[in-house]
Chains A and B, each alone.
Chain A
């Protein structure tokens, strides 16, 4: 009773206690689409959002809810909502807050799909975005307009590893009464909890480190509950009368959880990007070991960085925990446990060398994901960006010799041996 359990304990337990009927210790997978109503009154009370409960799995599900409550506890948020992917989470937040004519300020250095959604898709629906340098709080301040409805960025940017100065940016957003929405996929709540630094909304791709095993796609929104949506002119669909439920004001009815209530009633109801209960179970299984895995991810990352920095075949290494990284000071301040397990490095010999390296590793997997327990890598110059010239890649902040590495949990000596073999192959090619 009133233990205020710590992070490691919550990772294992939050969201579930064994039910009295079966005693099941694991979170049961409620593989069902719908739930029998005990009475017409009960059904009506769920439809009217009078009390909590489940009516249809597109809107909520007990297994998915256990995951949501675990995430809310780990982030220290008021409420959370899990959905089918990280991109679904991002779209749900934007469509819940913005309408045609609204404006977003976003980081210019983010995951490609995040950029595409804001740069190309949302403008078709009248929502425009100005992109600014994520490590320049003053530039963010200057970009805010009267119709700006949110500021968005990745705490640790993918793939450039730029670090946002969250407390500084949060101060700016707070002074302008604009929510700060952060993609916290690369840090996870283990490395940093954005609400403690003043952020208001978090989106996660659970596919990555939170799930941690490369077996299920999923996303989540965690609502800090610390944003005042009361300005009816600015946030008319959250605090003003909404078409759902006879003109409900989500803000006046649900206060700290207004945003999640709105996303459930509108986003999940009308767009329907729900997470399958089985995937929720798999993702939760991953979260159980998040603290252990993140510790080892960081440990291995620091070892790999040292190995790469000292390797004759490596031109450069980029990681925020290196003093040479431009955001190193910010990283030390807001990510004291480490700034994640993605490392970028340049291989001597350019595009061809990168290709040869990738083709010569045996243990590390060449694929388009990050945050798996296994070591992963990709060479954008010969895959995702192979159609671009070296110059065009540079414009996007990438180089053709760059390899992106997602450091896994293998024995560190096995990873370095694997890389050593690949470097030898590259050396032969360079001769």
Chain B
């Protein structure tokens, strides 16, 4: 659905069902340079399971206009304001990559009830190398292509996909190309500059789930495992794939999230 939020056209994926504030809300937060299309196999799945699903295209991403947020905190404030405006009270937030950092900050400031946090390919920090930061200004398209290639495991190289006929690389590149040109650099800088992750992770009091990837070259498994140690009782799973778990292992990821959600009161 499209709304006008903070003066800009804003797209919210809802998984093909209507938002319903009386139900438990699952809010998916996309990663750097991504948008709601990166959760295509989660949004419909959970919406059809009876959850109220919201997958915002952050400003300047996907089908949303506006100026990109310039820090993780700004992203978190934007999400907080959006969920409050939509009166979504009981929310489980699910972040992928940069979305995990945003979830950490949202947990500190959220005005309504955050019931649980799910980290997909997450960490408390996502340093970005200078080459990629520079390239994201000079040639965002090339930077996107590099991220798509690094980001996927062997399934990307070999065009292996559970979704018949789909190419991880071809689809991934085009998803990233839909964003406004400045969005990627703002995202990567937001990640690189973020340094409050350790305290934010220790501060989590709600149930937490982490799903990490064995061959993750963007948020390496080693970093992910250190991160989950900081969180009290974080249920942790490791899948055999690259960084883009939502499209590389949709069935397994959905099943882990679904079981976790069923355990919440």
Interface residues of A (CB under 8 A from B): 1-5, 10, 13-17, 44-45, 48-54, 60-62, 64-65, 68-70, 72-73, 76-82, 224-226, 230, 245-246, 248, 252-257, 260, 264
List residues of B (119-176) whose CB comes within 8 Å of A's CBs. 149-150, 152-154, 156-167, 169-171, 173-175
Asked whether, in the complex, the Cβ of B164 is within 8 Å of the Cβ of A256, the reply is no
Asked whether, in the complex, the Cβ of A255 is within 8 Å of the Cβ of B215, the reply is no
Q: Which residue of B lies closest to A65 (CB)?
A: B164
B97: min CB distance to chain A, Å: 16
Given contacts A1-B217, A10-B159, contact A51 B251 (CB under 8 A): yes
Given contacts A1-B215, A78-B174, contact A51 B250 (CB under 8 A): yes
A23: min CB distance to chain B, Å: 16
Given contacts A245-B16, A253-B40, contact A226 B177 (CB under 8 A): yes
Asked whether, in the complex, the Cβ of A79 is within 8 Å of the Cβ of B165, the reply is yes
Q: Choose among B45, B156, B159, B174 the residue that contacts A2 (Cβ–Cβ < 8 A).
A: B156
Q: Does B227 contact A (CB under 8 A)?
A: no
Asked whether, in the complex, the Cβ of B164 is within 8 Å of the Cβ of A52, the reply is yes
Asked whether, in the complex, the Cβ of A255 is within 8 Å of the Cβ of B178, the reply is yes
A-B contact pairs, 21 of them (CB 8 A): A2-B217, A4-B149, A4-B157, A10-B159, A15-B159, A48-B16, A48-B44, A50-B41, A52-B41, A53-B164, A53-B251, A69-B161, A70-B159, A73-B170, A78-B173, A79-B170, A80-B167, A81-B165, A254-B37, A254-B40, A260-B166
Q: Which residue of B lies closest to A254 (CB)?
A: B40
Asked whether, in the complex, the Cβ of A51 is within 8 Å of the Cβ of B158, the reply is no
Asked whether, in the complex, the Cβ of A253 is within 8 Å of the Cβ of B44, the reply is yes
Q: Does B254 contact A (CB under 8 A)?
A: yes
List residues of B (13-50) whose CB comes within 8 Å of A's CBs. 13, 16, 35, 37, 40-41, 43-45, 48
The total of chain B residues at the interface (CB under 8 A) is 44
Asked whether, in the complex, the Cβ of B174 is within 8 Å of the Cβ of A52, the reply is no
Q: Choose among A3, A72, A81, A264 the residue that contacts B157 (Cβ–Cβ < 8 A).
A: A3
Asked whether, in the complex, the Cβ of A1 is within 8 Å of the Cβ of B37, the reply is no
A16 to B251, CA, bound (A): 19
> What residues of chain A lie closer than 8 Å to B158, measured between beta carbons?
5, 13-17
Asked whether, in the complex, the Cβ of B174 is within 8 Å of the Cβ of A255, the reply is yes
Q: Closest 10 A-B residue pairs measured CB to CB?
A: A52-B163, A225-B174, A68-B165, A256-B174, A65-B164, A72-B167, A60-B164, A73-B159, A255-B37, A50-B45
Q: Does B88 contact A (CB under 8 A)?
A: no
Beyond A60-B165, A72-B167, 13 extra complex contacts between A and B, CB < 8 Å = A2-B150, A45-B45, A45-B48, A50-B45, A52-B41, A53-B162, A73-B170, A82-B165, A225-B173, A225-B174, A252-B13, A254-B37, A256-B170
Q: Does B209 contact A (CB under 8 A)?
A: no
Interface residues of B (CB under 8 A from A): 11, 13, 16, 35, 37, 40-41, 43-45, 48, 62-63, 149-150, 152-154, 156-167, 169-171, 173-175, 177-178, 215, 217, 242, 250-251, 254
Asked whether, in the complex, the Cβ of B154 is within 8 Å of the Cβ of A1, the reply is yes
A70 to B35, CA, bound (A): 26
Q: Choose among B40, B150, B152, B170 the residue that contacts A255 (Cβ–Cβ < 8 A).
A: B40
Given contacts A10-B159, A50-B44, A50-B45, contact A72 B174 (CB under 8 A): no
Asked whether, in the complex, the Cβ of B162 is within 8 Å of the Cβ of A77, the reply is no
Asked whether, in the complex, the Cβ of B63 is within 8 Å of the Cβ of A252, the reply is yes
> What residues of chain B lie closer than 8 Å to A16, measured between beta carbons?
158, 160
Q: Choose among A5, A78, A246, A253 the residue that contacts B166 (Cβ–Cβ < 8 A).
A: A78
A373: min CB distance to chain B, Å: 25
Q: Choose among B13, B63, B154, B166 the residue that contacts A69 (Cβ–Cβ < 8 A).
A: B166
Asked whether, in the complex, the Cβ of B41 is within 8 Å of the Cβ of A51, the reply is yes
- Which residue, B163, B164, B177, B178, has most C-beta atoms of chain A within 10 A? B164
Given contacts A44-B48, A60-B165, A256-B175, contact A225 B170 (CB under 8 A): yes
- Which residue, B150, B167, B217, has most C-beta atoms of chain A within 10 A? B167
Q: Which residue of B lies closest to A61 (CB)?
A: B164
A81 to B242, CA, bound (A): 25
Q: Choose among B153, B165, B170, B254 the residue that contacts A65 (Cβ–Cβ < 8 A).
A: B165
A122: min CB distance to chain B, Å: 25
Q: Which residue of A lies closest to B155 (CB)?
A: A17
> What residues of chain B lie closer than 8 Å to A48, measured between beta carbons?
16, 44, 48
B222: min CB distance to chain A, Å: 16
A246 to B166, CA, bound (A): 24
A2 to B250, CA, bound (A): 20
Given contacts A51-B41, A77-B167, contact A246 B154 (CB under 8 A): no
Asked whether, in the complex, the Cβ of A255 is within 8 Å of the Cβ of B160, the reply is no
Asked whether, in the complex, the Cβ of A256 is within 8 Å of the Cβ of B16, the reply is no
> What residues of chain B lie closer than 8 Å to A80, measured between beta carbons?
165, 167
A133: min CB distance to chain B, Å: 32
